Amino acid sequence: MQSFAESNDGVDLFCVKSDEERLHVHSQIVIAADGGSSNMVKQIAPALTARLTWYVALQETYACRSHLEPGFFHFFAFPEISPYPSAYIKDNLLVMEVVVRLEDKATQAMARFQEHLWKQIGIEQAHLIRWLGCRVTYAAPRGLFCFGTERILVCGEASGLLNLFGEGISSALASGRIAGKVSVNSIEQKVPPGRFYRQEIETEKRKTISTFNYKTLLFREGSAFNFKKGLHAMDWKERLIFCQNLLKWRLTLKT
């Protein structure tokens, strides 16, 4: 999609296909879900896009023997590794992720994370299965959401629905369902869907913002982290080191 023109009765999309053939599409409603680097959002809200801070996310997936506890998303609050290092077991594979600022090297952060996991968690017989990377931005803490216009509904990561852990699939599915529902209703009522979409998406917006409330996230009962279980397994020295690392990590995020 190169450009678009919105009118009272719909949206005209001007595109170029992979073989350089030009394509013109007219639709009553456009649902845009083209990722964090959304071309649609860049054209709808260029001033907002210019204010976004960008990061690089790197993910590596391994077949291995691991002592990492399955069924949990493990977050490692070690800023010397990366602002957001995480690991979890999915389909019997180890998935490791790091997020770094654009000026830093994601591969170096992943190497530091790998060294930590291999040593502390006991990763053995590791074989790299998959290597993925992309640019991400955290719009929620600064309220830099873009949900589109009257006839263009922006969903998922493109709209800013990406949580603290760099996970946006759940919000993408939820916002997609909402966009589809209000689109059908608006066509039946013969009105633009934008206002209804912005009303309906408010819950997902607040849910995403809440993941960046660190006090709630870290210490509220039933939150993402099981602190009682973790602290119970530590001696006093380990608890002190943990608190120091957590404070250091939190201060790093402000810089």
The domain made up of 54-137 has a fold known as: D-Amino Acid Oxidase; Chain A, domain 2 (3.30.9)
* 88-98 pLDDT, tens digit each: 999 999 999 99
Residue 51 pLDDT grade (very low, low, confident, very high; cuts 50, 70, 90): very high
Which segments of the chain belong to CATH 3.50.50.60? 3-52+139-210
Which residues partner with 133 through β-bridges? 58
Sign of the CA dihedral running 28, 34, 35, 39: negative
pLDDT of 210 reads 85
* Joined tokens for residue 127: 């074989």
Other C-beta atoms closer than 10 Å to the C-beta of 6 total: 16
> Across the chain, what does the average pLDDT equal?
89
* 199-211 pLDDT, tens digit each: 999 999 998 998 8
Which segments of the chain belong to CATH 3.30.9.10? 54-137
| Cβ–Cβ under 8 Å, residues 113 and 100 | no
Angstrom distance (rounded) from CA 204 to CA 193? 17
Strands 152-154 and 30-32: parallel
Strands (E) located in the chain: 3-7, 10-16, 22-27, 30-32, 54-65, 74-75, 86-90, 93-101, 124-137, 152-154
CATH number corresponding to 3-52+139-210: 3.50.50.60
Q: Which long-range contacts (CB under 8 A, 24 or more apart) does 87-90 make?
A: 87/113, 87/117, 87/121
Per residue in 210-247, is it b (16+ CB within 10 Å) or e — as a string?
ebeeeeebeeeeeeebeeeeeeeeeeeeeeeeeeeebe
* 7-16 pLDDT, tens digit each: 999 999 999 9
Helix ranges, 121-225 (H): 156-159, 169-189, 194-200, 202-210, 214-219
* 122-143 pLDDT, tens digit each: 888 999 999 999 888 999 989 9
| Cβ–Cβ under 8 Å, residues 154 and 40 | yes
Question: How many angstroms separate the Cα of 49 from the Cα of each of 44, 83, 145?
Answer: 9, 22, 10
Model confidence at 222: pLDDT above 60: no
Contacts of residue 200, Cβ cutoff 8 Å, sequence gap at least 6: 178, 181, 182
Residue 232 pLDDT grade (very low, low, confident, very high; cuts 50, 70, 90): confident
Per residue in 24-63, is it b (16+ CB within 10 Å) or e — as a string?
eeeeebbbbbbbbbbebbeebbeebbeeeeebbbbbbbbe
Angstrom distance (rounded) from CA 224 to CA 75? 10
Q: What is the mean pLDDT of residues 74-78?
A: 86
